[in-house]
Each structure stands twice: as structure tokens, then as C-alpha cells.
Amino acid sequence: MKKIFLFTSLIVSQSALFAQNNNFKKDSIAIAKMQGYVLENSVCYEDLRYLCKKIGNRISGSEAAAKAVEWGKQALESAGADKVYLQPVMVPHWVRGKEIFSVKTEQGQNLALHPLGLGNAIGTNGLGIDAQIIEVKDAIELEQLGVENINGKIVYFSHAWNQKLANPFDEYGNSVYYRWAGPSLAAKYGAVACIIKSAGAAYDNFAHTGSMRYDTLYKKIPAMALSYVEATELEKMIRAKEIVSATVNSTSHFEEEVLSYNVVGELYGSDLKDEIITVGGHLDSWDVGEGAHDDGAGCVQSIEVIRMMKKMGIKPRRTVRCVLFMNEENGLRGGTEYARLARLEKEKHTCAIETDAGGFSPRGFTMSVSKEQREKVKTWRNLFMPLGVYNFDEEGGGADIGPLRKNLNTPLMELSPDPQRYFDLHHTENDVFEQVSRRELSMGALAMAAMVYMISEYGL
């Protein structure tokens, strides 16, 4: 009996190995065909050109954001989606006004710097705030200085990006903390305005904006960022005691909320049509630059997944749903509404994949999945290696698809491109179409399509 059992086990094992080898051959041929199609025929670069140059930056609630919704709908219809529709969602409409930050020197000079207001920050109603400016390195020093040293002053947070880390994403959370929470931290001790050194990795003159949040316990104060170069010069002047006072003036404000939309396109599955694979990026951007890498690239890559499968005649087993989310940057309303509707409709989501880390060469996928699901994806590594995609070990998902994890426990992934230049451009005037490589953008779309194909075939 023992010999029979061992013999049977050997047959089963060999059969599984044979099936696995056959699948590998089939899948590698399929992905190679995708590669040939995407690199030669992809139009995602031209899609991005139109989005950036004809529509431009598109903050939620703006006319440009409304135009982007129409563009997204037409792009998905042109890509051949079986169904295209809009999901209504109310979004905030923050308007950047005139922004001034200047310092008065001991010699009586008024030096105008080039600030970029933080997203959602209040203005000064056109009335300038004149006060002394004080440098604070971090939250610990702020607490040590206390109300007696901070009250009535403009706080400048000089926390600098840690350049020693190989992956810039490992530093982002540390630096963005002062953008997100710094204004209320300063207000807690009586500050009248807040200036930060930009949360970015580049040694240049481009300031970085980005969302911030007011703590309801403290007074709302104006908040602005300076580029690395100007912030460094400001520090030198403060430390040399060359500055007598500083002036902050801003007309930034919120207008009434606006009806906007997530744009959704579906490619119906065959035998597992009710199981959904979501792939997407966010259609809104900040109101500076052109939102090319953040996140026009992700939108056009996601559309390309639908287009490529349709044009190549690939019939996914599971339904592939492309979503262009609205309001990721300063509210996450689109992603939240998408998850709410998915739960309401009792949809079954096999996986959600986001692309919101730039249109650079793909290197892997971060994941919020079970240990078993991660190990399953790792068995596909040899299929992705020819694309330069190898890293499946990092945790992560994506902001817009995060609510799906919370509401439905959906497995999440996010395309992980080469990270070195993303935070040079992130939320700046320099995030423009010319900063995107056609080939790298197309390779990212290919990696997304290959992952969607594998999950459609084999699930998680």
C-alpha cells in the first residue's frame, strides 16, 4: 500500500509539474505577444500628450477636471471597452490664490521668495501677516520651544529629505508629515503661519505642493512650501540673524463643492464574469505642472490595458474594470465612493491594481495580500523577469483602492516603477509631459496588462 501511495503521489506531482510547465509556456507566449503589441502599437503616450497639453493640470472641481472626465470617457470608448459609464461623486473645490512670502533684512531690503501654497490651506483674505520667523527642525524642537517662543511668529520647518536612503519612498512619510500636520502643530503653540521645506528629493528651485489637514482643535493658519534651494538660503539667513521679519499673504480659498465623476470602463469576462479585477489611476492632479507622472501616466496605462486586450482579442476570464478616480489629491472622494458602491452592490473583487507612482520603468508590484496570495504571485516571477519586473516583496497598495481593502478585504497591488526621479517631480510645476519617456510609460502599461492577464487566468 505504501508503494502504491508513493507511486500515486509521484504521478500527481509529475502531472502538476507538467501542467505548470505547459502553463508557463502558454503564459510566456501570451505575455511576449503583449510586449510586441504594446511597445509597437501603444497609444498611451499620445493619450498622455493630449491630457497634459490640451487639458493640463486638473484639480478637483475645476473646469479642467470636468474636461478630463469627458476625455476619459471618450478614451475608454475608443479603447473598445464593452461598457463605459460615470460614477457621480461630490468633490471639494480648492482654489489657489495669489501667494506672497517675503523677508525683510537688517539692511532694509525686502526679498521676495517663490512659495507654493499647500493644498487645502486657508489664505489671509488678502491681508498680509507680518511677523518674526523662527526655524524649527522638527516636532520635538517645536515642543521644546513651547508657546513662549512660538506665539505670534511664523514657523519655518526645516526638516530635510534624508538623501541616504536608496528608495526615496522610504523617506516620503517622514518628510510629508510636516506638510500634512505641520501647520496645526505650529498653530498649537500660537504660530500665525507655517512655511516648510518641500517634501521632495531634488536640489532645485521647484517647490512642492500637496495636501495638508487642519486639526480642529487649533486655529487654521496659512501654509506654504519653499523649494530646496530657496529653503536652504532662508535657513542661512535665519541662522545668521539677517532677517528682521517676514510677510505672508495668500488669497487661497474653498468654493462650493462640485459634482464630478469617476470614469469607469469594463471588459467583460468569460466564465468568471462576476469576478472583478480593478485597474486604475487618478484623473485629478494638483493645479501646478500638468499632472503627467502624477497621475496622468497611471490613467493612460490603465486605459491601455483595456485597449490592448480588446485589440489583441484577449478574452479575460474575469471582468477587467478600468477606473479613472476623481479627487485622490485632496479628498479621496472618488476612491471612497467606488468602494461604497462596490459594497452596496455586493460585488466580488478578485484584486485591485493601482498605478500612481509615475510613468518610469516598472520594477515590481507592492501588495497588500495574504501570505499565500503573495507566494502565488511570486511563482510568476520568471514570466515578469524579461520585462525587468522582479520585486514582489514590498507591502503597499494605493490610496484610491485602499477603501476596497477596508470595505471588502480586497487584495491590493500597486505598480512599482523605478523610484529615483518621482519625488523630483512630484506635485511641482516640473511634472510635465516632457518628463515622461514613451518607452518607459509603455513598459509600465505592459507590466500592468501582464499582471491583469495572470490574475484573470488563475485568480489569487
Q: pLDDT tens digits, residue range 22-45?
A: 789 999 999 999 999 999 999 999
Domains of the chain with bracketed CATH = 37-94+256-458 (3.40.630.10), 97-251 (3.50.30.30)
Q: How far apart are CA 151 and CA 326, in angstroms?
A: 39
> Residue 21: its pLDDT value, please?
56
Opening angle at CA 30, ends 26 and 36, nearest 5: 145
Question: What angle separates helix 297-312 from helix 63-79, to the nearest 10 degrees?
Answer: 20
Q: How far apart are CA 394 and CA 370, in angstroms?
A: 13
Give the number of residues written for the chain: 460
Residue 82: left if φ>0, alpha if ψ -120 to 50, beta else—which one?
A: alpha
Q: pLDDT tens digits, residue range 336-353?
A: 999 999 999 999 999 999
> Residue 7: its pLDDT value, please?
39
> Residue 349: its pLDDT value, please?
98
pTM over 0.85: yes
Joined grid coordinates for residue 182: 505641520
Q: How far apart are CA 171 and CA 159, in angstroms?
A: 11
Q: pLDDT tens digits, residue range 185-241?
A: 999 999 999 999 999 999 999 999 999 999 999 999 999 999 999 999 999 999 999
Based on DSSP, count helices (H) and strands (E) in the chain, helices before strands.
Answer: 14, 16
Give me the residues of the chain with pLDDT under 50, please: 2-19
> Residue 322: its pLDDT value, please?
98
User: What one-character DSSP code corresponds to residue 211?
Assistant: B
> Residue 296: its pLDDT value, please?
98
Three-state DSSP at 357 gives coil
Question: What angle separates helix 438-458 from helix 2-41, to the nearest 10 degrees?
Answer: 150
Cell 509615475 belongs to which residue? Answer: 358
Among residues 179, 173, 251, 232, which one has the least CA distance to residue 208? 179
Cell 512650501 belongs to which residue? Answer: 225
